[in-house]
C-alpha cells in the first residue's frame, strides 16, 4: 500500500521515512519521529523442589509509552486535537491503532498494530512571533502491546 496526498497523508519532500499513525478509524497523520517502541519482560523463575536448580523464563510483558513527534501541520494537528477533545469529553476508550513506517514514495516499509492505545500527553513547543520557527508537536500514548503485521493472529 502507498500513501499519497489522495490518501490524506502528505509526505515531506526530502524525508527518507515518516511514520503514519492511526487509532480506531482516525488517521493522525504523518510523523517524523517515533520513540520508545519497546517491550520488556519480567524475569520469572521456577525452583525445582528444594534443590538449587531453577529455570528462568519470560514473565509479564511491559510496554513503554510511545512518543510521536513532528512539525505541527494544520491537518494532522487538527486530527490529534479532535481525538484529544473526544477523550476529554467522553472519558475515552482505548482503541487499537497502527504505526506504519513509510518511505519517501509512500510505500509501507514496516507496520505494527498498537493494541488499546490511549493518549496520556500532548504538547507543542512554545510560540515565538519574533522569527520563522517550526513548532514541534509531541503526542505520547500508552498501549497494551505491539504486534507485527505478520503476527497479528498471535498476540504478543
Are 27 and 6 a contacting pair, CB within 8 Å? no
Please state whether 8 falls in left (phi above 0), alpha (psi between -120 and 50) or beta.
left
Which pLDDT value is given to residue 147? 63
Answer whether 1's CB lies under 8 Å from 101's CB: no
Cα dihedral across residues 103, 105, 1, 4: positive or negative: positive
Note the pLDDT tens digit of each residue in 48-68: 888 888 888 888 888 999 999
The span from the CA of 18 to the CA of 101, in Å, is 6
List domains and CATH numbers for the chain.
5-42+55-150 (2.30.110.20)
Q: What is the CA radius of gyration of the chain?
A: 19
Helices and strands of the chain, counted as H and E runs: 1, 10
d(CA 95, CA 4): 25
Chain centroid to Cα 139, Å, comes to: 9
Cβ atoms within 10 Å, residue 119: 20
Dist. CA 44–CA 40, nearest whole Å = 12
Specify the pLDDT at position 6: 41
- HSE-up (13 A, CA, CB side) for residue 87: 19
Which residues of the chain fall short of a pLDDT of 50?
1-14, 149-156
Give me the long-range contacts of 121-124 (CB less than 8 A, separation at least 24): 121/65, 122/80, 122/84, 124/72, 124/77
pTM of the model: 0.75
Per-residue pLDDT, 8: 44
Amino acid at each position: 500500500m502507498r500513501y499519497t496526498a489522495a490518501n490524506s497523508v502528505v509526505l515531506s519532500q526530502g524525508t527518507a521515512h515518516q511514520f503514519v499513525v492511526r487509532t480506531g478509524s482516525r488517521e493522525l497523520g504523518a510523523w517524523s519521529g517515533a520513540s520508545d517502541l519497546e517491550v520488556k519482560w519480567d524475569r520469572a523463575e521456577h525452583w525445582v523442589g528444594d534443590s538449587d536448580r531453577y529455570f528462568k523464563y519470560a514473565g509479564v510483558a511491559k510496554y513503554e509509552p510511545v512518543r510521536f513527534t513532528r512539525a505541527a501541520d494544520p491537518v494532522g494537528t487538527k486530527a490529534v486535537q479532535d481525538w484529544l477533545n473526544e477523550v476529554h469529553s467522553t472519558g475515552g476508550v482505548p482503541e487499537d491503532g497502527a504505526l506504519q513506517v513509510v518511505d519517501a514514495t509512500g510505500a509501507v516499509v514496516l507496520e505494527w498494530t498498537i493494541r488499546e492505545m490511549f493518549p496520556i500527553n500532548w504538547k507543542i513547543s512554545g510560540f515565538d512571533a519574533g522569527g520563522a520557527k517550526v513548532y514541534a508537536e509531541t503526542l505520547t500514548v500508552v498501549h497494551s502491546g505491539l504486534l507485527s503485521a505478520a503476527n497479528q493472529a498471535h498476540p504478543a
